[in-house]
Structure formats: structure tokens, C-alpha cells
């Protein structure tokens, strides 16, 4: 196995790249068991810990998988598409459907867990959304997403907060496109204000079912517009 020793520099990245090329180049087909850490370390001229980190990176890319007691095997010859890339490429309706599932539960949790600081942030975000009504569609969407982010943050679940942050960029692009194309705000620059105000009130009142229902209905109305293109 002629891999060639590596230069001293970011060794993990170099080791990962060298092993990835062995896989994507077809030298280690799917189903192949990789040599052991000691063998790989000697072939690459690095320590076993460097090889271990490189194998973790390859596993994260979906190229290899460790089988307990058996070793590390090649499971794919092309890396999996990054999650953020998948989101950017996804149809806005698909993204929005998942948004509904995520945010409705976030609103329910927010009504149960919100603090005084959360309520201040929600009211500030609602005021920001109202102020953005005088701006263009991009500014209005940014303010709208900021309010929804405040709702998610009030749920105090770091996984939900992280997921929403991942969803925000494709949501932003899709919503701006929708407002530009359908001219939703032409007769109502502060479109959806009453619904968002009611949502903030429900969270403030600790009405979990009401908050979930209000947000679900609001998101479904937008989803219906996206599906119908009108």
C-alpha cells in the first residue's frame, strides 16, 4: 500500500485527504476493510491518533463505518452532501413543511418555559417587525425571522435553536422571493401582524395549545401560498 509519508503541517487534514482519495479513486471499493490504525499510521508517517481523527472525519462524510470488533469498512465512494447544502438545494415548500413541524412544537415549549427576559425579547422582536413594515421585502423578512427566532429561543432547547439557525437562510431566500413575486404586502405592508401579536400574547399567557395553534395556522397559510404560487 504505497500511500507516501506526509509533511508536518495540519496532519489530520492531510491524512483525511489522502485516505479519501484512496476511496474515491476506487482503490478501496465499497465493502473493503481498511488496514488497521497501526498499518495506516506507518504508511502515512503519522501517529495513530492522527489516523483515528482522519477516520472519524471520513465517517462523518459517510465514506466509512466502524463495525464493532470487525474494523472500519468503506460504505460509499462519494461523500454525503452537507446538510446545509441540501437545505439550499431543497424546494422551499419542503423546507417549510419541516419548519411547521419544528416551530409549532417550539411555540408550545416557549409558552411553558418563557422567562421575563424572553418576553422582553419577543416584544422587542414584534416591535422590530412592525417597524420593518416601512422597509423593503428583505428587511421585513429579516424582522419576521428574528421574531420567529425569538420564539424558538424561548423554548430553551439548544437543538431546536440550532436547527432553526440552519433553516433560516433558505427560509429567508424563499420568503423574499414569495413576497416579491406575489406582492403579498402591496395592500398590507405589515402582513400577519395580528397573528404574530396574538402568538406573543399566547406565549406570555402560558397558553401552550393556543400558541401552537396560532403558529400552525399562520405557517400553514404561508405554506398554502407557496404551494399554490399565489
Cell of 128: 422590530
The C-alpha torsion from 12 through 13 and 14 to 16, rounded to 10°, is: 80
Q: What pLDDT does residue 8 have? A: 46
Q: What pLDDT does residue 180 have? A: 86
Task: State how far the Cα of 61 lies from the Cα of 26, in Å rounded to an integer.
Answer: 16
Q: Within a 10 A sphere around the Cβ of 168, how many other Cβ atoms?
A: 18
Q: What pLDDT does residue 23 have? A: 92
Q: What pLDDT does residue 29 have? A: 92
Q: From 6, 65, 80, select the one nearest 31 (Cα to Cα).
A: 65
Radius of gyration over every alpha carbon of the chain, rounded to an integer in angstroms: 24
157 backbone dihedrals φ, ψ, rounded to 5°: -125, 110
Task: State how far the Cα of 50 lies from the Cα of 12, in Å rounded to an integer.
Answer: 5
Task: State how far the Cα of 225 lies from the Cα of 145, in Å rounded to an integer.
Answer: 18
End-to-end CA distance of the chain: 60
pLDDT (tens digit, 0 to 9) for every residue of the chain, 230 residues total? 556 555 544 788 899 999 999 998 889 999 999 999 999 999 999 999 999 999 998 998 889 999 988 999 999 988 776 676 777 778 888 989 999 999 999 999 999 999 999 999 999 999 999 999 999 999 999 999 999 999 999 999 999 999 999 889 888 988 898 888 878 888 889 999 999 999 999 999 999 999 999 999 999 999 998 888 64
Length in residues, the chain: 230
Cell of 223: 405554506
Amino acid at each position: 500500500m504505497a500511500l507516501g509519508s506526509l509533511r508536518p503541517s495540519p496532519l489530520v487534514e492531510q491524512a483525511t485527504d489522502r485516505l479519501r482519495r484512496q476511496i474515491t479513486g476506487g482503490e478501496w471499493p465499497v465493502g473493503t476493510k481498511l488496514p488497521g490504525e497501526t498499518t495506516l499510521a506507518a504508511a502515512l508517517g503519522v501517529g495513530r491518533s492522527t489516523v483515528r481523527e482522519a477516520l472519524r472525519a471520513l465517517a462523518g462524510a459517510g465514506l466509512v463505518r466502524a463495525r464493532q470488533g470487525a474494523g472500519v469498512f468503506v460504505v460509499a465512494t462519494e461523500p454525503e452532501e452537507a446538510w446545509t447544502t441540501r437545505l439550499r438545494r431543497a424546494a422551499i415548500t419542503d423546507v417549510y413543511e419541516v419548519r411547521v413541524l419544528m416551530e409549532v412544537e417550539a411555540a408550545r415549549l416557549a409558552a411553558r418555559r418563557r422567562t421575563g427576559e424572553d418576553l422582553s425579547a419577543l416584544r422587542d422582536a414584534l416591535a422590530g417587525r412592525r417597524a420593518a413594515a416601512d422597509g423593503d421585502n428583505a428587511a421585513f423578512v429579516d424582522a419576521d425571522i428574528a421574531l420567529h427566532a425569538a420564539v424558538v429561543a424561548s423554548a430553551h432547547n439548544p437543538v431546536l435553536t440550532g436547527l432553526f439557525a440552519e433553516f433560516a437562510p433558505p427560509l429567508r431566500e424563499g420568503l423574499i422571493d414569495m413576497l416579491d413575486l406575489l406582492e403579498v404586502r402591496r395592500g398590507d405592508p405589515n402582513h400577519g401582524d395580528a397573528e404574530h401579536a396574538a402568538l406573543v400574547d399566547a406565549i406570555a399567557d402560558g397558553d401552550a395549545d393556543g400558541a401552537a395553534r396560532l403558529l400552525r395556522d399562520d405557517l400553514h397559510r404561508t405554506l398554502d401560498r407557496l404551494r399554490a404560487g399565489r
